[in-house]
Amino acid sequence: MKINIFKKKLLPVVIATFSLSTMAASSHLSANSQIDLQPLGTYKTNQPLFTSAQEIVAFDKQSKRLFVVNGGAKTIDILKAGHDGSLLLIKQVDITPYGKAANSVSVHHGVVAAAVQNNNKQQPGQVVFFNVDGEFLNKLTVGAQPDMVTFTPNGKFALVANEGEPSDDYSIDPEGSVSVVRMLRDVKLMTQNNVKTADFKEFNKRNLPKGIKISGPGASVAQDLEPEYITVSEDSETAWVTLQENNAIAEIDIADAEIEKIFSLGFKDHSLPGNELDVSNKDGKINIKNWPVFGAYQPDSIAAYQHGSKTYLVTANEGDGRDYPGHSEETRVMNLSLNPEVFPDAQTLQLPENLGRLKVTTAIGDVDKDGYFEELYSYGARSFSIWNESGQLIFDSANDFEKIIARDFPGRFNSQGSHKSFDSRSDDKGPEPEALALGKVAGRTYAFIGLERVGGIMVYDITNPLKVKFIQYQPGNSTDISPEGIKFISAKDSPTGKPVLAVAFEASGTTTLFEINRTARK
């Protein structure tokens, strides 16, 4: 069967990209830098490394307090931010009376909401409300595995993404959903009647757009779709939720608590110029080049912003696969049988120092189901993207992340954040962009993208989605490992009087404030 994998119709066209040739050659600031991140204070937990001790961070502008999910201690840590950017722990709120642990936290006008997972992950969880002193106000039941919570800008609703992951043996696979909680001024008066569920049952009988990956054994569409992260329009009427494992985004009518549509994100063609990547952790070098592979965008974080009269969606394209004892779609290219008509050089291609080590999915790629793969699909796009409301790709950062780090910090390339682990993540998802926040400084809109593996924060000016500019890579330091959550705090709300970023670092159990300083344009 003769198949040309380089003419796949699902690939969106990148309308705007950025060339590294316009950057300053010896700095992690771009030549046209407008802002610069500088670290201020840091709070460090007493939890061991790699225990998810600081994950998601929220900020209350009245009390100047940060609320951080501490997975290791199973608490919400309340931190006081000082005028100098220092961070002081003032209280830890125990989450265990309400479930296993908090997965997310959000704050609006003095009300703190925590998404709390059931001790049995496949059972319904709760959204728990506190005041800024950590005092309990109320709790309401939501869907299975509430993974993210956010308030609408007007504060009238709290939205919860219920991921609904299966049990390890895949015998129980709850449906994914989004809980829409109608808020009352007196939070204590809210009842279960304030909760509506936006589910995906209707899509069990619809034909999904091409490119949406449904791969769970025996799973319905509603069971397979796994809501990950939510963003809301400025008018508080529409929400969008990433369906990470499925490579899709769903649009939600908030007032009616209904899923309006789902759109596929398509795939990134790594054989095209500009989309090069490093795919091997066994070649002992940086080797960014084109390969016959498609990358599924599979974003984790998502954020919405306005340009003119239009809304755009920004995504951090981390990637994620299903890998359970009862079912796994993950493998490496070296383990696949490749169609010799499509891959005549398969034996060379599958060497460990070439494409052999790259992790790919077995859920798609065997086009005619004969056991031989005509197409290869890896996890994540190693980039961030901007989409319009219809799911059309407007901008993708292409191969920026790997090339920037290779140029400015080669010893940490595709690492776990240190020279000791150089190149160790090239066969997986590279720098692994996960965290994302948007913020306005001096009238311009910036995207701050946290790289979970290699660490640090990429900064881009996205004011005009057709004229995106790289601004800075802030590499972080050895004490801050794996940025998991980012919160932008404007100058008018900031404890320092300047705009700041609050970043929660999962592996190191640290939360750090970064001051955003304006620089003279060059």
H or E segment and range at residue 347: helix 346-349
- What are 75's strand-pairing partners? 70, 94
Dump pLDDT digits (tens) for 473-490.
999 777 888 999 999 999
| Exposure on the CB side of residue 516, measured as CA atoms within 13 A | 33
Distance separating alpha carbons of residues 201 and 458, to the nearest angstrom: 38
Alpha-carbon 447 to chain mean position: 13
Task: Domain 5-518: give its CATH architecture.
Answer: 7 Propeller (2.130)
Q: Taking the chain, what is the end-to-end CA distance rounded to the nearest angstrom?
A: 55
Q: Please, are residues 238 and 185 in contact by the beta-carbon 8 Å criterion?
A: no
Dump pLDDT digits (tens) for 287-342.
999 999 999 999 999 999 999 999 999 999 999 999 999 999 999 999 999 999 99
Minimal CA–CA distance to 282: which of 357, 347, 382? 357
| DSSP structural state of residue 108 | E
Q: Where are the beta strands (DSSP E) in 45-168?
A: 57-60, 65-70, 75-81, 87-94, 101-108, 111-117, 124-131, 136-144, 146-151, 157-162
Q: What is the CA radius of gyration of the chain?
A: 22
Q: Please, are residues 460 and 469 in contact by the beta-carbon 8 Å criterion?
A: yes
Structure tokens at 499: 């705009």
Dump pLDDT digits (tens) for 70-126.
999 999 999 999 999 999 999 999 999 999 999 999 999 999 999 999 999 999 999
The residue among 478 and 395 whose pLDDT is bigger is 395
Give the residue extent of every domain in the chain. 5-518
Q: Sorting pLDDT into bands at 50, 70 and 90, what band is 3?
A: very low
Distance separating alpha carbons of residues 71 and 88, to the nearest angstrom: 19
Model pLDDT, residue 131: 98
Label residue 497 left, alpha or beta by phi (over 0 means left) and psi (-120 to 50 means alpha). left
Distance separating alpha carbons of residues 63 and 90, to the nearest angstrom: 12
Indicate the pairing of strand 157-162 with strand 302-307: unpaired
Dump pLDDT digits (tens) for 408-459.
999 999 998 877 899 999 999 999 999 999 999 999 999 999 999 999 999 9
